[in-house]
Chain A
């Protein structure tokens, strides 16, 4: 019987497998950041252990840092201490750190791909659940807890049982005016917030083949929102072209060798998945979440659901969510008014996302009732956008243009949504309190967020009239 892509990567990384414990899996790339690593380093010190492969460990600071002017010192002493601790740890253990002064700094899941460190066939871990993003390259990438961070630092391995495999065949054609974000949100809406718990997903099918790398990252990023351990996409020429010539990508003969290896990374025709799902995207419309988990989502043309319209087992949770969100059933989404708009996060803060949002925004002004900010995923994305003049489009429209970081995705710094405020956000989680205590989050695509910032309420971007050309935007 053939092997799935997951089997191939997993099997290739087994260092030891015995009856007495889960297999010991080698880790090719360990990404660390300031929030989930300090206690792991402390553990190393207490046990007099060292970092086995500092050269396979990459650090950045992204979660708790301010996104305002970097020349101003931190106002938050606790966050400052956390960032200092990371600096000390990287210094003491010889780990490469892209700190706030680095031109490569950014959200961990944005910078590793753009530096060419994320590569097909790798095992990648990080103390962060959205590590699944890197699966877009055909790498087995998943989030781990701090004890496991310590384990990887000390041994460059992890004990891992094999997960079950789930194939999601994505067929049809993604309609004009919808995006990879709408694809993944509607998929989560269909399957549910915990459908893939214990599985590694492989996204397959023509639709996936036609996505750009950045779109694939958006899809894989949200695998965890279905509970999956990881999400994978078979690497192809789109992948290889993206990686080629990146700063740390292999060069010359090494590139040729790598390519031979990477081209063997596919699921064999006769491989069997534990579960298979088909998903037709032809009917997908722009999505808006209405509740407090990403599975509570609907199309922009829908209304906020009533309790009775939900499947029986979702009613109790649905009622609680609606209450928290402060939206009444049967309200059309286009009537839901917003206080904040956030364009950013490891889901949607890359250059293509910003370009798409800027197209919508160009020539318009942010509604008076809305505070809107754009937080590029990395310094590189920020520079690129500034070269293209995209920053000016946002600034002229009244958006705040920030330094890179996680920012309002989780509100660990000063960028928070206040109690009772409503935010259209391009991030990945709409949990209670995620963006701030009592904050109400609606997850959307960058285009939808941009349009909502202008009108002050949700609108269907498929009907957006771009000001650049004064015509109904032709997608």
Chain B
């Protein structure tokens, strides 16, 4: 059981692996095994699409230890299209300014390093402006 839990945590960090409530179909992220809507047990895995929109954001200029390499960066509250809200960095903004309602999608990126160049690299999800896919006949 410990191993299974470990796996699920990893999936939740690399991608958006959450749960769906078998009773009321509420989508749950992060997974907590109890449905926040109907309070019943909810352990069914659900992989989120990764698409959502920015509902709030702030620019971090004084980053915590381990995050210095990417500062300044934008942290946003993203509402996933399935409902739940998650807090994550925005990335690949390029010359775009973030705004409320900005359509974004999940990507997996370097979050930080532990002990600088010697330590482990921690990867996890962030959101970027949604890639524009050309219209095709």
Partners in one complex: no
Q: Residues of B at under 8 Å CB distance from A?
A: none
Q: Residues of A at under 8 Å CB distance from B?
A: none
